[in-house]
Amino acid sequence: MSSLTIKAALQMAVSALSPRAESAHLDAELLLAQVLNKPRSYLFTWPEKVLSPEQAQHFQALLQQRLQGHPIAHLIGQREFWTLDLMVTPDTLIPRPETELLVELALERLPHDHVCKVLDLGTGTGAITLALASERPLTQITAIERSAPALEVAKRNAERHQLTNIQFLQSSWFAELAQNSANRFDMIVSNPPYIAAHDEHLSQGDVRFEPLTALAAGQDGLDDLKIIIQQAPAYLSTQGWLLVEHGYDQGVAVRALYTQAGFQMINTHTDLAGHDRVTLGHVR
């Protein structure tokens, strides 16, 4: 493969990936750009450039891993979310476009011109936290994550984007937060695990390679959502908002949990596919 050009490498990869991946062209380009340490535009500017034997071998190895189902985000070590490039590892959930709806709804309720306190529960890569911190620099955000390796990824992403209005804390949901006035937040956001433990999707696609604890939450997928919604009022300021992401078929159940916990102005918003995705409400 020592005489393999960029054009030929892409053609070979697309041919191999097409039967198994809907985004074969994009996957091939991302993998080759990673190997060459160049932007994707470079591939089309220099299609006749010959890969070195080491580059060709590296590309073939990544291609084989992709054919085995490994997520692109893990193979290249990053994923775009909002306006940010985030480092991603197998210790974290891969940020998904649907979660940007939660960011949009949160930003609509966070002012530009004065300080607010926000709590992000289960921050993972820090995707939600970093998006909010970058758009609302006056906002002070506490980002909580149970997994120490995932929390380290979030910290590194914050350093990468030079975002300093974030405090990181290792905790299982609210466990390490004392219930006092200093820990009252104007908004709590969360994208918690919400897939049912025996859901067939857990054995399909990228999720096979993601941490199960970041995906599954009991028999109906509501275990963690129940904890968050029931305990959130004790940590919210007057008129504080709670926004949670959830499964496409959980809107009714999640709204019922909000009602039971005493929230008002409860509303579920749909994603671009028309599925229930984010529910919000504020405390009395």
List beta partners, residue 141.
118, 166
Asked if the structure places residue 114 within a domain, the reply is yes
> Residues 56, 89: one domain?
no
DSSP class of residue 181 equals G
> Residues 45, 127: one domain?
no
Look at residues 98, 100, 95 and name the one whose alpha carbon lies nearest to residue 124.
95
Q: How far apart are CA 262 and CA 61, in angstroms?
A: 54
Report CA Rg, the chain.
21
Q: Which residues contact 244 (CB under 8 A, 6 or more apart)?
A: 102, 189, 190, 191, 192, 225, 228, 229, 254, 278, 279, 280
Asked if the structure places residue 130 within a domain, the reply is yes
> Residues 61, 186: one domain?
no
Q: How far apart are CA 276 and CA 225, in angstroms?
A: 15
Exposure on the CB side of residue 40, measured as CA atoms within 13 A: 9
Query: Final residue of a domain: which of 68, 86, 105?
Result: 68
Report the SS3 class of residue 21.
coil
So what's the pLDDT on residue 220? 77
> Residues 63, 83: one domain?
no
Q: What is the mean pLDDT of each run of 10 residues along the chain (284 residues)?
A: 85 92 90 94 94 95 92 92 94 91 98 95 97 97 96 97 96 86 88 76 61 64 93 94 95 96 97 95 89
Q: How many domains does the chain have?
A: 2
So what's the pLDDT on residue 1? 44
> Residues 131, 86: one domain?
yes
So what's the pLDDT on residue 143? 97
* Tokens 């084989």, residue located: 64
> Residues 63, 121: one domain?
no
> Residues 26, 89: one domain?
no
> Residues 64, 205: one domain?
no
Look at residues 105, 134, 137, 132 and name the one whose alpha carbon lies nearest to residue 119.
132
Measured in degrees and rounded to the nearest 5, phi and psi for residue 50 equal -90, 135
Asked if the structure places residue 1 within a domain, the reply is no
C-beta separation of 27 from 35 below 8 A: no
Asked if the structure places residue 141 within a domain, the reply is yes
Query: Final residue of a domain: which of 17, 40, 68?
Result: 68
> Residues 86, 216: one domain?
yes
> Residues 204, 169: one domain?
yes
Which residue type does 229 have?
A: I
Asked if the structure places residue 73 within a domain, the reply is no
So what's the pLDDT on residue 7? 96
Query: Final residue of a domain: which of 68, 92, 109?
Result: 68
H helix count then E strand count, the chain: 10, 9
> Residues 47, 137: one domain?
no
Residue 151 structural domain: 78-282
Q: Which residues contact 89 (CB under 8 A, 6 or more apart)?
A: 74, 77, 149, 153
So what's the pLDDT on residue 22? 79
Asked if the structure places residue 20 within a domain, the reply is yes
Residue 20: which CATH number? 1.10.8.10
Residue 117: which CATH number? 3.40.50.150
Asked if the structure places residue 165 within a domain, the reply is yes
> Residues 219, 137: one domain?
yes
